[in-house]
A and B are shown apart, each in its own frame.
Chain A
Amino acid sequence: MRPYKILLFMTGILVVLAALCIVLPGRVTIGGTEVRWPTLTQVFDAQTAAKEVEIPDRLWNLDDPKEAALDTTAIVLTTDSVTPSAPSVVPPKVVVDSTTDSRIFLSRFYASLQTTDSCKVRIVHYGDSQIEEDRITQQIRETLQQRYGGSGVGLMPLLQTIPSLTVRQELRMNGRLISASQAQQGPARYLVYGPKSMQRTDGLYGAMGQVAIMADSLVPGSEEVVVVCKPQTASAHYSTWRIFADSTIHYTVSGDTVHLTGRGAIYGLSQETNTGVIVDNIPMRGCLGTTVFTKIDSTQLATFYREENVRLIILQYGGNAIPENDKPETIHGFVKSYRKQVRYLRRCAPHADILFIGPSDMVRLKDGIWQSYPMISFMDKLLRKMCLEDNIAYFSLYQYMGGAGSMLRWREQGLAGSDGIHFYRNGARKAGNAVATWLLEPLTPNH
Chain B
Amino acid sequence: MRNVYLMFVSWFFYYKTSGLFVAILAFVTLSDWLIAQRIDKAKSNNPESKIAKLWLTLSVMIDLGILGYFKYAYFFTNMFNDLTGSHVTIVDKIILPAGISFYIFQVISYTADVYCRRIQPVKNILDFGFYVSFFPQLVAGPIVRAEEFVPQLYKPFHLSRRMFGLAVFWIINGLAKKIILSNYLAVNIIDRVFDYPLLFSGFENLFALFAYSLQVYADFSGYSDIAIGLALLMGFYLPMNFNSPYKSQTPQEFWRRWHMSLGRWLKTYLYIPLGGNRKISIGTYIMLTIIALVSAGLTGWWLWIMIPFAALIAAMIIVPRVMKNNTQLKLFYSNLNSFITQVLGGLWHGASWNFIIWGGINGIGMIVNKIWRELHWHVRFVLMTALTGSLIYADEATHLPAWHLFAFWALIVWIGTAIRYIYWLLTEDKEIKNQKSKISNKIAQCWAILQTFVFITFTRLFFRSSSNLDPATANEQAWETAKNMVNQIGGAWNSAMIPDFIVEYKWVVAMFIAGMIIHWLPTNWKRRYRLWFSAMPLWLMVFVVCAALVVIYQFVTADMQPFIYFQF
Among residues 178 to 209 in chain A, which have CB atoms less than 8 Å away from a CB atom of chain B? Answer: 178-185, 191, 193-195, 198
Q: Is A418 a contact partner of B568 (Cβ separation < 8 A)?
A: no
Q: How far is the CA of A12 from the CA of B400 in the complex (A)?
A: 61
A6 touches B233 (CB 8 A): yes
Task: Flag whether B560 is at the interface (Cβ < 8 A).
Answer: yes
Cβ-based interface call for B563 (8 A) = yes
Residue B446 lies at the interface, judged by CB distance under 8 Å to chain A: no
Chain A residue at smallest Cβ distance from B183: A365
Q: Is A70 positioned at the interface, with any CB of B under 8 Å from its CB?
A: no
Q: B487 and A417: CB pair below 8 A?
A: no
Q: Mark A129-144, 1 if CB is under 8 A from B, else 0.
A: 1001100000000000
Which of A13-21, A218-226, A243-251, A345-353 has 4 or more CB atoms under 8 Å from chain B? Answer: A13-21
Q: How many residues of B contact A (CB 8 A)?
A: 52
Instruction: Identify the closest chain A residue to B487 (Cβ).
Output: A181
Interface residues of A in 131-173 (CB under 8 A from B): 132-133, 161-163
Instruction: Please tell me if the beta carbons of B164 and A285 are within 8 angstroms of each other in the complex.
Output: no
Q: Could you tell me if B192 and A6 are in contact, using CB atoms closer than 8 angstroms? A: no
- Interfacial chain B residues near A181, Cβ < 8 Å: 201-202, 401, 487-488, 490-493
Are A419 and B195 touching (Cβ within 8 A)?
A: yes
Q: Does B559 contact A (CB under 8 A)?
A: yes
Whether A368 sits at the interface, judged by CB under 8 Å, is: yes
A419 touches B192 (CB 8 A): yes
From 100 to 150 in chain B, residues with beta carbon under 8 angstroms from any chain A beta carbon are none
Question: In the complex the two chains form, what is the Cα distance from A424 to B481 in whole Å?
Answer: 12
| Chain A residues closer than 8 Å to B399, beta-carbon distance | 176-179, 182
Please indicate the chain A residues that have their CB under 8 angstroms from the CB of B199 in the complex.
Answer: 129, 132, 285, 422
Instruction: For the complex, give the distance between the alpha carbons of A195 and B568 in Å.
Output: 8
State whether A179 and B160 are in contact (beta carbons under 8 Å apart), knowing that A162-B198, A285-B565 are contacts in the complex: no
Of the candidates A1, A183, A195, A366, which one forms a contact with B159 in the assembled complex, judged by CB atoms under 8 Å apart?
A1
> Which residues of B have CB within 8 Å of A184?
492, 494
A177 touches B159 (CB 8 A): no
Q: Is the CB of B491 within 8 A of A37?
A: no
**B492 A418 Cβ-Cβ under 8 A:** no
Q: Which of B216-224, B337-345, B416-424, B542-550 touches A?
A: B542-550
**Contacting pair A365 B187 (CB below 8 A):** yes
Decide if A285 touches B202 in the complex (CB within 8 Å): no
Q: Is the CB of B400 within 8 A of A1?
A: no
CB of A414 closer than 8 Å to a CB of B:
yes
Distance A121 CA – B530 CA, assembled complex (angstroms): 72
Question: What is the bound-complex CA distance between A368 and B554, given in angstroms?
Answer: 9
Tell me, yes or no, whether B302 is within 8 Å of chain A by CB.
Answer: no
Q: Which residues of A contact B563 (CB under 8 A)?
A: 323, 419, 421
Given A36-B553, A365-B187, A414-B470, do A182 and B198 touch, yes or no (CB 8 Å)? Answer: no
Which residues from chain B contact A418 at a C-beta distance below 8 Å?
187, 191-192, 195
Residues on B with C-beta less than 8 A from A6 are 159, 164, 233
> Which of these, B191, B554, B565, contacts A36 with CB under 8 Å?
B554
Q: Which residues of B contact A3 (CB under 8 A)?
A: 157
Q: Name the residue of chain A whose CB is nearest to the CB of B160.
A: A1
> Is A324 close to B, CB under 8 A?
yes
Nearest B-chain residue to A320, judged by Cβ: B563
Q: How far is the CA of A428 from the CA of B538 in the complex (A)?
A: 55
Contact with A along B499-527 (1 / 0, CB 8 A): 00000000000000000000000000000
Q: Please judge, given known A-B contacts A20-B546, A163-B198, A198-B568, whether A367 and B557 are in contact too, CB under 8 Å.
A: yes
A366 and B157 in contact (CB under 8 A), knowing A177-B399, A418-B191?
no
Which residues of B, 228-255, contact A by the 8 Å Cβ criterion?
A: 233
The 8 A CB mask of B294-322 against A (1 = contact, 0 = none) is 00000000000000000000000000000
Q: Is the CB of A16 within 8 A of B568?
A: no
A-contact bits for B174-212, CB 8 A (1 contact / 0 none): 000000000000010001100110110110000000000
- A 411-425 binary contact with B (CB < 8 Å = 1; else 0): 000100111011010
Instruction: Indicate whether A264 reaches chain B with its CB closer than 8 angstroms.
Output: no
- Does the CB pair A364–B550 fall under 8 Å? no
Q: Establish whether residues A286 and B400, one from each chain, have CB atoms under 8 Å apart when the complex forms.
A: no
Which residues from A are CB-within-8-Å of B159?
1, 6
The reply to whether the CB of A60 lies closer than 8 angstroms to some CB of chain B is no
A-side contacts of B491, CB under 8 Å = 179-182
User: Is B329 part of the contact surface with A, judged by Cβ < 8 Å?
Assistant: no
Kindly state whether residue A9 has any CB partner on chain B within 8 Å. yes
Q: Is A76 an interface residue (CB 8 A)?
A: no
- Across the interface, A177 reaches (CB within 8 A) one of B160, B400, B539, B565, namely B400
Q: Considering the complex, give the chain A residue whose CB is closest to the CB of B157.
A: A3
User: Does B50 sit at the interface, judged by CB under 8 A?
Assistant: no
Q: Are A13 and B546 in contact (CB-based, < 8 A)?
A: yes
Cα–Cα, bound, A181→B400 (Å): 10
Task: Say yes or no for A53: interface residue by CB 8 A criterion.
Answer: no
Question: With the chains together, A421 CA to B195 CA distance in Å?
Answer: 11
- CB distance B565 to A179 under 8 Å? no
Any chain B CB within 8 A of the CB of A35? yes
Q: How far is the CA of A247 from the CA of B401 in the complex (A)?
A: 34
What's the Cα separation between A198 and B554 when bound, in Å? Answer: 39
Q: In the complex the two chains form, is B492's CB within 8 Å of A182's CB?
A: yes
Question: How far is A183 from B491 in the complex, measured between Cα atoms in Å?
Answer: 9
Query: B17 at interface (Cβ–Cβ under 8 A)?
Result: no
Residue in contact with B557 in the complex, picked from A36, A163, A178, A422, CB distance below 8 Å = A36
* Residue B51 CB within 8 A of the other chain: no
Cβ contact within 8 Å between B487 and A180: yes
- The answer to whether B546 and A17 touch across the interface, beta carbons within 8 angstroms, is yes
Which B residues touch A191, using CB under 8 A? Answer: 568
* Chain A residues positioned under 8 Å from B196 (CB to CB): 417, 419, 422
Is B58 positioned at the interface, with any CB of A under 8 Å from its CB? no
Q: Are B553 and A37 in contact (CB under 8 A)?
A: yes
Task: Indicate whether B398 reaches chain A with its CB closer than 8 angstroms.
Answer: yes
Give Cα A422–Cα B563 distance, bound, in whole angstroms. 11
Q: Give A290 Cβ to nearest chain B Cβ, in Å.
A: 16
B541 interfacial by beta-carbon distance below 8 Å: yes
Looking across the interface, which residue of chain A has its beta carbon closest to that of B488?
A181
Q: A1-B159, A1-B160, A286-B565 are in contact. Are A16 and B543 (CB under 8 A)?
A: yes
Give Cα A17–Cα B160 distance, bound, in whole angstroms.
Answer: 26
B433 at interface, CB cutoff 8 A: no
A419-B191 in contact (CB<8A)? yes
- Complex Cα distance, B504 from A286, in Å, reads 15
Q: In the complex, what residues of B have CB within 8 A of residue A422's CB?
A: 195-196, 199
Cβ of A13: which chain B residues have Cβ within 8 Å of it? Answer: 542, 545-546, 549
A132-B198, A179-B487, A367-B557 known; A1 vs B164 contact (CB < 8 Å):
yes
Q: Are B157 and A365 in contact (CB under 8 A)?
A: no
Nearest chain B CB to A184's CB is how many angstroms away?
A: 6
Chain A residues with Cβ below 8 Å from B85 are none
- A-chain residues with CB within 8 Å of residue B191 when the two chains form the complex: 417-419
* Complex Cα spacing A421 to B553, Å: 25
Chain A residue at minimum C-beta to C-beta distance from B564: A286
Q: How far is the CB of B205 from chain A (nearest CB, A)?
A: 9
State in angstroms the CA–CA spacing of A85 and B563 once bound together: 42
5 A-B pairs with C-beta separation under 8 A: A20-B550, A36-B553, A129-B565, A285-B568, A364-B560
Complex A-B, nearest 4 residue pairs according to Cβ-Cβ distance, in ascending order: A181-B491, A418-B191, A286-B565, A417-B195
- Apart from A286-B565, A368-B556, list 11 A-B contacts with CB within 8 A: A12-B539, A12-B542, A38-B553, A133-B198, A179-B401, A180-B198, A181-B491, A182-B399, A184-B494, A285-B567, A286-B564
A-to-B contact residues, CB < 8 Å: 1, 3, 5-6, 9, 12-13, 16-17, 20, 35-38, 129, 132-133, 161-163, 176-185, 191, 193-195, 198, 285-286, 323-324, 364-368, 414, 417-419, 421-422, 424
